[in-house]
Structures are given as C-alpha cells and as structure tokens.
Amino acid sequence: MIKLKGIAAAGGVGIGIALVLSKDEITVPKRRISHDQISREIYRFEVALIDTRKELSNLQKKISKDVGFEHARIFESHFLALEDRVLIEDVISQIKNKKINVEYAFSQSIKKYVDALLNVNDEYLRERVVDIEDISRRVLRKMLKEQAVSLSDLKEKVIIVSHDLAPSQTASLPKEMILGVVSDIGGRTSHTAIIARSLRIPAVVGVEVATKNIKSGDKVIVDGSKGLIIIRPTEKTLKQYKEKLTAYKKDIKSIHIPKALRACTKDGREVRISANLELPEELPLVKEYGAEGVGLYRTEYIFLGRKDLPSEDEQYKAYLEVVKGSSPNQVIFRTIDIGGDKFLSQPEVPKEMSPFLGWRAIRFCLARTDIFKTQLRAILRTSSPGNVRIMFPMISGVEELRQAKTLLEECKKELKKEGKSFDENISIGIMIEVPSAALTADILAKECDFFSIGTNDLIQYSVAVDRANEKVAYLYEPGHPGVLRLIKHIIDAAHTAKIKVGMCGEMSGDPIFSFLLLGMGLDSFSMTPPQVPKIKELINNVKIEDAEKVVRGALKLSTAKDVEKYLQEELKKVLKEKFYRILMI
C-alpha cells in the first residue's frame, strides 16, 4: 500500500481500478519483488516480447503491401533487438539478482544498450538508437498495459490517472464511467479541478508522482476531500473507505436545498446565488441545486477538443439550449477565454512560454475578430430583453473594453440589417481578474453595466502564482491581505459608479469567504452548482451587520493564515451549532 498526498480538488471518495493515460514519454515504476514473484516477472517479459514480435510482423506485412517490401525492411533492427540474447539475459539477471520488476529492469538494460550504441564510432549503428527506443516503448507499453484507450468507449468504471488531464479531456469524460481523477500537476483552480467539481467526480490534482507510482490495473482509492491517494490498499483500509463511501452517498442524498431561489440574510439583504457552467450537459444541475440562473457560462468549451471551429449556427443552438434551460432566470455568457490552460487544436494557435500571460481571452478575440464576431452574433441572437448578459474576460484596461464594445455594436448593426431579433439593451459586463483592471475599476465602471470578479485569475496575477502549478500552490491564498484589499477596492468602485458587482471565481463558493464578501457588499455570487445549497443556507443564517464587522477585523490582519483562522472562528460564533451542518452540506 502506498499513500500519496496531493491537492484536494473535488470532494468525495472514489474506489476503483486505475487507468493510466500515457503520454509519449512512458513513466516506468520501480518496484521491489519477492523471490516468489521472479518467475512471474520473467513470464510477463517473454509474453511482451512475443506480442511485440507479432505486432511488428503485422505492421511489416501492412507496410510491405501498402508501400513495398523495401520499406518494410526498416523493422529489421527492431527484430534483431527483440532477439538479442545479451539484452534478454541482462533483463532476466536483473530481475533475479536485484529483485526488481520487469519494466524497470528492461528500461535499465535498454539504457545500457543505447549508451553502448551511442559510443560506437559507426554512423549506421548510432542511427539504430531510434529503432531501439521505439522497440523499448512498444515492449514497455505491453507490460504496463498502457495502450491508447479512447475515453469515450470505456467498458468498465475506472479511476483516471494522468500526468496532466487537459480541460477538454476532462470535459469529455463519460461521467458515469469515471470513479475518480488523479493528476501529477494542477492546482485547486486549474480548469480540470473546476470541471471535476462540477461533474461531482472526486479528484486529487498536483500529486506530482502519481503516474510514477500507479500502473493501469492497480486498485486505487481517491479521497478527494483530503487530497489523498491510496494505491493498492490493504483489506483493512479498503473496508474503511468502502464504509466512508456509503456514508458519503447517504450525505449527498440528504442535502437540504433551501426552497427560495434567492438567498436572504436574517436582516433582509437579498443576494443572487447562481451557477458556473461549462457544458450544456450540466444544465440540470442549475435547478437540482437551486441556483438562480447561470452567473458564468464558460463558452470556450464548445471550441475545445476539436479540429474545426463551431459555426454561428452551431453556437447559437448550444447557447439557446442554455438560455431555455435556465429560463426564466438569466444567463451570463462569458466570451471565449482561450489560452492559459485551455487551448484550441487549430494549428495557428502557437505554444507560448507563459500562456497565462500571453495570447489569452479578450486578447485572442480582439486579434481574431472573425472568431469573436461569430460568437457575439450567436450570443446576441439568443437574447431577448433581460434574459442574457455578455461579459468579457481578462480585461486589463479600458481600451480593450471599448474595442470589444465596438465589435459588439457592429454585430448588432449586421443583425438588424438581416432582420434578426436580439436585446438591443443587452447588459455588458467585464470580468475583473487582472490587477490593473482592479486598480482602475473606477474608470472601467463608467463604461460597462456590471463587474464579475474572477478571483481564480485575480489571485494568480496579484500574488504571481501560476494557478495550475502544484509547486507554488501553497502561495495561492484567497485570504492574502493584498487580494482582500483589491476585492474591497473593486466592490467600492462599482458601488460608487452605481453598478452591480458579482463574483464567479471559486472563492465565492467557499463558506468562510462568502461570509466576508457578503460583508464587503458583493451583490451576487456564482459558483460550481454543488456549492450553491451550502452558501445559500449560510447567507440565510447570518446578518449583514455581523458580516460587516468581520470585514473590519479581517482587513486588519497581516497574513492569509490569520485571515482564514479569524473568519472560521467568527463564522462559528455566528452560526453556532449550524456551522458544522452547513459545512457538511
């Protein structure tokens, strides 16, 4: 049994068999084996060699048939390596003498083989290194059972383990077949973590060495609430976790969803609690968890994981489904936020050194006005008075806002000419997620209808911490006094300019912070749907004056740790026995 610690990304417990998604580079685990296991490891090696020979021979036949016998001869050195007695004996002797697993022994022997070839003064032999590496990958994959598996045709329920699961891959996971998600990299607000939370799949990210320690077929426990992975658990641990899983399922069923749509404090302040969505399939969650419409619809997901671009009509149909599904409540469409940790597959989008600081979101849209305008037209066409709002992501200054608005006006004119209907007074908002926008909120507020604070990015940009990097995740602190001051400044600037301000970053769904934000005067909260009942219940049980007092106290503190501790204590005092029940929801 091995326990690994990562970042708790999505709560709940998953118990199942691991499916390790391979990258090009194969991770080879090193395991000690007992004397009794030696013959089994040697047998696995022999089977892998025979299977690889068959695979190569089929490939050779196909190439010979398709492009000619001459070309099929490229596999000759592959076959020679597979039959090389020195190599085979070396692997077997390592298994026997060092008592290590066959994959590791084989990879060590291949390393020696490659080093030897690289040191010979013979061009032809040196060039064979590529063939040896190819053959090594083939044999290793056989032993690690890591052949490419299409996630959409999984036959059994699995725990997905990967180095880095892209947001587009996470979004395309067949939810009913996935018991848990584990990745080597990522943080709590990386998009893979956000989607796992939305889909209610237990997830632990940022484990760093998950793919080194887990192989496909291993039994794994994912404790998404504690950020813990248990590989090949003992019978006793397995039993404990099975009990935990049963209790968790019961808790989920007993979730109390406050009836009234709007949350209201004990002294009468009403606030809107809406849902963050990425995919139309998540729509039922809005009503299931009692959210008041959609406060953030991440439109870029329709662009991910495909080679072509969605047409205006395809987008129109998808957005209309969201609008209809949320009716009579409102939907806020956030225009394409591509870049950062979400990439288009189109070849013209280049890889960047610092994608979070690069060609992302509104910057991409203002450069690719063809893509942007197609989307704006599709969104506009779904609007009728009051039901749809548009917001622009990653605005860093007022010029970007002006340019985006000019393009929107062009789209309106075009649609009018074409006789297509839309809401002429559609509300335009911006996400405040860049410190320069936060500090110039007074200027921006004069030129838009609402703000939505995107703390997932605002925190990463103000503390200079890559939100997807597990190595610096300890610095990613919503309670950092610098972050709190920025948020207070944004809310005050919005209210001075008489516009509403909401928050759609993950911070708004965290109970201790939602209490603080309420006191700062935040008008609306948008979060992953499963968080909604908790935050509603919390707001229904506090008074504005208590929340305002807490803001004054929190702003005097010097560190995020002190802030979190203080907020927790104060919330406990206010909620009394309800505190634990609400946190449990």
Q: Which residues are catalytic?
A: 191, 504
Measured distance CA(511)–CA(525) in Å, rounded = 11
Which of 131-139, 373-381, 451-459, 545-553 is the region at the interface with Mg ion (rule: CB under 5 A)?
A: 451-459
Closer of 323 and 431 to Mg ion (Cβ): 431
Least spacing, CB of residue 317 vs ligand PEP, in Å: 23
Sequential DSSP letters for 224-235: TTTTEEEES--H
Closer of 272 and 467 to Mg ion (Cβ): 467
In the list Mg ion, ligand PEP, none, the entry touching 296 (Cβ below 5 to 8 angstroms by class) is ligand PEP
Please count the helices (runs of H) and the strands (runs of E) in the chain. 24, 17
Residue 524 and residue 276 in contact, taking contact as beta carbons nearer than 8 Å: no
Least spacing, CB of residue 481 vs ligand PEP, in Å: 19
Q: What are the φ/ψ torsions at residue 429 (nearest 5 degrees)?
A: -125, 175
Between 407 and 436, how does the x/- string for binding to ligand PEP read (CB under 6 A)?
--------------------------x---
Tokens of 183: 């990745």
Between 368 and 407, how does the x/- string for binding to ligand PEP read (CB under 6 A)?
----------------------------------------
Strand partners, 270: 264
- DSSP 8-state class, residue 22: P
Closer of 292 and 433 to Mg ion (Cβ): 433
Which of 124-132, 172-180, 383-391, 448-456 is the region at the interface with ligand PEP (rule: CB under 6 A)?
A: 448-456
How many Cα atoms are found within 13 Å in the side-chain-facing hemisphere of 277? 30
570 binds Mg ion (CB under 5 A): no
Measured distance CA(544)–CA(265) in Å, rounded = 7
Residues shown for the chain: 585
Among 429, 454, 511, 533, binds Mg ion (CB under 5 A): 454
Between 502 and 541, how does the x/- string for binding to ligand PEP read (CB under 6 A)?
--xx------------------------------------
Q: In sequence order, what are the residues at sequence separation of 6 or more whose Cβ sits closer than 8 angstroms to the Cβ of residue 386?
A: 330, 423
Closer of 207 and 459 to ligand PEP (Cβ): 459
Closer of 48 and 294 to Mg ion (Cβ): 294
Task: Pick out residues in 332-351 that bind ligand PEP (CB under 6 A).
Answer: 337
Which of 94-102, 159-167, 435-443, 451-459 is the region at the interface with ligand PEP (rule: CB under 6 A)?
A: 451-459
Q: Taking Cα atoms as reference points, which of 444, 385, 375, 436 lies closest to residue 411?
A: 375
Sequential DSSP letters for 160-220: EEES---HHHHHTS-GGGEEEEEESS--TTSHHHHHHHHTT--EEE--SSHHHH--TT-EE
Report how far apart, in Å, the C-alpha atoms of 396 and of each of 94, 465, 503, 567 are. 59, 18, 17, 31
Least spacing, CB of residue 117 vs ligand PEP, in Å: 48
Q: Taking Cα atoms as reference points, which of 74, 76, 102 lies closest to residue 88?
A: 102
Our CA dihedral for 294, 298, 303, 305, rounded to 10 degrees, sits at: -110
Least spacing, CB of residue 371 vs ligand PEP, in Å: 18
Measured distance CA(478)–CA(455) in Å, rounded = 8
Task: Pick out residues in 422-441 that bind Mg ion (CB under 5 A).
Answer: 433
Burial of 343 (0-12, 13-18, 19+ CB in 10 A): buried
Closer of 468 and 582 to ligand PEP (Cβ): 468
Between 285 and 304, how does the x/- string for binding to ligand PEP read (CB under 6 A)?
-----------x-x------
Which of 101-109, 350-358, 369-377, 452-460 is the region at the interface with ligand PEP (rule: CB under 6 A)?
A: 452-460
Closer of 94 and 460 to ligand PEP (Cβ): 460
Residue 106 and residue 140 in contact, taking contact as beta carbons nearer than 8 Å: yes
Residue type at position 139? V
Between 30 and 69, how does the x/- string for binding to ligand PEP read (CB under 6 A)?
----------------------------------------
457 binds ligand PEP (CB under 6 A): yes
Q: Where are the alpha helices (DSSP H) in 334-440?
A: 361-367, 369-382, 398-417, 435-439
295 binds Mg ion (CB under 5 A): no
Residue 22 and residue 148 in contact, taking contact as beta carbons nearer than 8 Å: yes
Closer of 455 and 462 to ligand PEP (Cβ): 455
In the list ligand PEP, Mg ion, none, the entry touching 408 (Cβ below 5 to 8 angstroms by class) is none
Which of 241-249, 305-313, 421-429, 456-464 is the region at the interface with Mg ion (rule: CB under 5 A)?
A: 456-464
Closer of 457 and 470 to ligand PEP (Cβ): 457
Measured distance CA(189)–CA(506) in Å, rounded = 7
Least spacing, CB of residue 433 vs ligand PEP, in Å: 5
Between 250 and 289, how does the x/- string for binding to ligand PEP read (CB under 6 A)?
----------------------------------------
In the list Mg ion, ligand PEP, none, the entry touching 389 (Cβ below 5 to 8 angstroms by class) is none
Tell me: cis bond preceding 328? Omega within 30 of 0 counts. yes
Our CA dihedral for 477, 482, 488, 494, rounded to 10 degrees, sits at: -100
Least spacing, CB of residue 275 vs ligand PEP, in Å: 12
Least spacing, CB of residue 458 vs Mg ion, in Å: 8
User: Site residues (CB under 6 A) for ligand PEP?
Assistant: 296, 298, 337, 433, 454-457, 504-505
Interface ranges with Mg ion (CB under 5 A)? 433, 454, 457
